[in-house]
Amino acid sequence: MSAAVELRQVSKVYGSGPAEVHALRGVDLSVQAGELVAVMGPSGSGKSTLLTIAGTLEEPTSGQVVIDERELAGLSRNELARLRRRAIGYVFQDFNLLPGLTAVENVALPLELDGVRVKAARAAALVMLERLGLAERATRFPDELSGGESQRVAIARAVIGERRLLLADEPTGALDSVSGEAVMRLLRTACRDGVAGVVVTHDAQLASWADRVVFLRDGQVVDQTNPRPGPESLLTPGVKP
Amino acid sequence: MSVRHALLALLSDGPKYGLQLRQEFESRTGEVWPLNVGQVYTTLQRLERDGFVESEGSGGPQNVFTITSAGADELAAWLRTPAEVMPPPRDELVIKVLVATSVPGVDVSELLQVHRRHMVEAMQQYTHIKSDMAEDDVELGLIVDSELFRIEAVVRWIDAADARLKQYPAQPRRTPAPVPRLGRARMGSRR
């Protein structure tokens, strides 16, 4: 199966001369449809840069980015904008919902921007909110929603339509652990439904929801987790009489 | 894990047979702690000897056990007794890292990454249990969370150690550090 997103020897340099910062150095990363990958590293390791480059929000200094078998460098500005609108969903730590729009309007927005008629887009958004258990909050504005609800709305907005790639930057950062877990369950379910997911985080609990954890240090991929035997192996007797 | 007090807790809502106690123990601990039936009867005998339970019946599996008021007091006191602070499993890891800083040719940051990966892999296994279980399986959720938080603490220590060593790389020592002796003492207490 081909990768939904692939980074090949991607490097990113900010500034020049003595002020030069190498945010990424020759990163290779490939994520299949249906797979959730966590990129884990401390602040300054290049996580967010990796995500913005995978999400076409920034261009690499060198290397290639391939989304759905199309190399981004070969796309026109319009094609790139369309790819970004249709194929890629973003989830941020601070939700980034538009405050003047209701939950359902926020979720419908990507479809409307893509030319879907308002009525059809809102209907699709409502279905998505229902799936995330938020139907009764659909007409609320972001400042009337809890943090957990806001992030679920943001996820609904990120996966609506025919998105192929879901990118999340510390998506549970501001949430308590129960709400955070609900968010990770949703991201995992979205990936099971065929989306390729990339979550960047410094948080091991959050990363442990991923199928694979990639470790980033100083702009380089230094290691990744391997699949282990099933969870039954953990449940060994531990009784002391 | 105190089987004694777990059995008292199970008896606190009514008299029960030994086999019934074993089944309830396993289902309440999310079947993570299997218990053999011999262990149940030995523990019940001791509880009876100490006056915390009474039994009625013709002996063996036919006996029905009932908690006494002394048993109820013992249970109430145990629930509020501070839990033993177990020697953290990272102790062995702390020793390895301390030792590694004085072994020539060891890249401590790379070593920390090896351990970080092991820990995150273990966390993935536990999270996998959580994602597969019914969301209302409270017992299993509590057990899995406690393991996840424990391992997460180790990962956070690894991250902190990595940052600290980056800022202040370990210096070669002229005299042997007392670390290995400390290590043996601590590791001995764990086993």
Q: Is the pLDDT of residue A18 over 50?
A: yes
Residues 6+ apart with CB under 8 A from B23: none
Q: Is the pLDDT of residue A121 over 90?
A: yes
The answer to whether B132 faces chain A, any CB pair under 8 Å, is yes
Report if residue A172 sits inside a domain: yes
Q: Shortest CB distance from A237 goes to which of B33, B42, B149?
A: B33
Q: Do B32 and A235 touch (CB under 8 A)?
A: yes
The answer to whether B133 faces chain A, any CB pair under 8 Å, is no
Q: A208 and B126 in contact (C-beta within 8 Å)?
A: yes
Report if residue A231 sits inside a domain: no
Q: Shortest CB distance from A231 goes to which of B31, B33, B128?
A: B128
In whole angstroms, what separates CA A74 from the centre of its chain?
A: 24
> In the β-sheet with A21-32, what is the strand arrangement from edge to edge?
A21-32, A3-14, A62-67, A70-71
For residue B88, name the pLDDT band (cuts at 50, 70, 90): low
State the smallest CA–CA distance between residue A122 and chain B in angstroms: 30
pLDDT in tens, B61-87: 788 999 999 999 999 888 888 877 666
Instruction: Point out the least confidently predicted range of A195-209, B32-46, B140-154.
Output: B32-46
Instruction: Point out the least confidently predicted range of A17-26, A72-81, A217-226, B173-182.
Output: B173-182
A224's enclosing H/E stretch is: strand A220-224
In whole angstroms, what separates CA B138 from the centre of its chain?
A: 18
B66, β-bridge pairs: B54
Chain A residues touching residue B131 (CB < 8 angstroms): 185, 188, 209
Report if residue A237 sits inside a domain: no
The count of domains in chain A is: 1
Chain A interface mutation, best of B125, B135, B144, B150, highest count of A Cβ atoms under 10 Å:
B125
Interface size A-B, in CB pairs within 8 Å, comes to 88
The answer to whether B154 faces chain A, any CB pair under 8 Å, is no
pLDDT in tens, B129-159: 988 888 788 888 898 999 999 999 999 999 9
pLDDT in tens, A80-107: 988 888 899 998 888 889 999 999 999 9
Separation between Cα atoms, residue A63 and residue A12, nearest integer Å: 9
Query: What number is the average pLDDT over the span A55-83?
Result: 92
A184's enclosing H/E stretch is: helix A177-192
For residue B178, name the pLDDT band (cuts at 50, 70, 90): low
Separation between Cα atoms, residue B181 and residue B187, nearest integer Å: 10
Q: Is the pLDDT of residue A66 over 60?
A: yes
pLDDT of residue B165: 92
Q: A149 and A107 in contact (C-beta within 8 Å)?
A: no
Residues 6+ apart with CB under 8 A from A167: A51, A54, A55, A88, A89, A90, A91, A197, A198
pLDDT of residue A234: 59
Three-state secondary structure call for residue A191? helix
Q: A213 and A207 in contact (C-beta within 8 Å)?
A: yes
Residues 6+ apart with CB under 8 A from B82: none
Calculate what percentage of chain A has a pLDDT beyond 90. 60
Chain A residues touching residue B26 (CB < 8 angstroms): none
For residue B185, name the pLDDT band (cuts at 50, 70, 90): very low
pLDDT of residue A240: 34
Chain A residues touching residue B21 (CB < 8 angstroms): none
Domain ranges of chain B: 3-80, 90-190
Q: Is the pLDDT of residue A122 over 80?
A: yes
Report if residue A111 sits inside a domain: yes
Separation between Cα atoms, residue B152 and residue A157, nearest integer Å: 31
Separation between Cα atoms, residue A141 and residue B161, nearest integer Å: 44
Q: Which stretch, A10-14, A145-149, B29-33, has highest mean pLDDT? A: A10-14
| Position with higher pLDDT, A177 vs A221 | A221
Query: What number is the average pLDDT over the span A174-200?
Result: 87
pLDDT of residue B182: 46
Instruction: Point out the least confidently predicted range of A86-90, B23-27, B125-129.
Output: B23-27
Chain A interface mutation, best of B120, B126, B148, highest count of A Cβ atoms under 10 Å:
B120
Q: What is the CATH number of the domain that holds A149?
A: 3.40.50.300
pLDDT of residue B162: 93
A167, β-bridge pairs: A90, A198
CATH of domain B3-80: 1.10.10.10
The residue with tokens 């790819």 is A83
pLDDT of residue A101: 95
Q: Shortest CB distance from A231 goes to which of B2, B3, B125?
A: B125
Separation between Cα atoms, residue B89 and residue B92, nearest integer Å: 7
| Predicted model pTM | 0.79
Query: What number is the average pLDDT over the span A28-47?
Result: 94
Mean of the per-residue pLDDT values of chain A: 89
pLDDT of residue B30: 63
Q: By CA distance, what is A237's nearest residue in B?
A: B33
Q: Which of A183, A207, A180, A212 is nearest to A196 (CA)?
A: A212
Phi, psi of B92 (to 5 degrees): -60, -40
Chain B residues touching residue A217 (CB < 8 angstroms): 109, 113
Torsion sign, CA atoms A147, A150, A154, A156: positive
State the smallest CA–CA distance between residue B176 and chain A in angstroms: 32
Mean of the per-residue pLDDT values of chain B: 83
> In the β-sheet with A88-91, what is the strand arrangement from edge to edge?
A88-91, A165-169, A196-201, A36-40, A212-217, A220-224
In terms of residue numbers, what domain contains A96? 3-226
Q: A164 and A68 in contact (C-beta within 8 Å)?
A: yes
Q: Do B35 and A208 touch (CB under 8 A)?
A: no
Question: Could you give the C-alpha distances from B112 to A12, B17, B133, B156, in angstroms and in order?
Answer: 26, 51, 32, 11
Chain A residues touching residue B151 (CB < 8 angstroms): 204
pLDDT of residue B39: 86
| Position with higher pLDDT, B102 vs A58 | A58
Question: Could you give the C-alpha distances from A142 to A78, A130, A156, A171, in angstroms and in order?
Answer: 31, 17, 14, 16
The residue with tokens 């998105």 is A163
Q: Is the pLDDT of residue B191 over 50?
A: no
Q: Do A188 and B125 touch (CB under 8 A)?
A: no
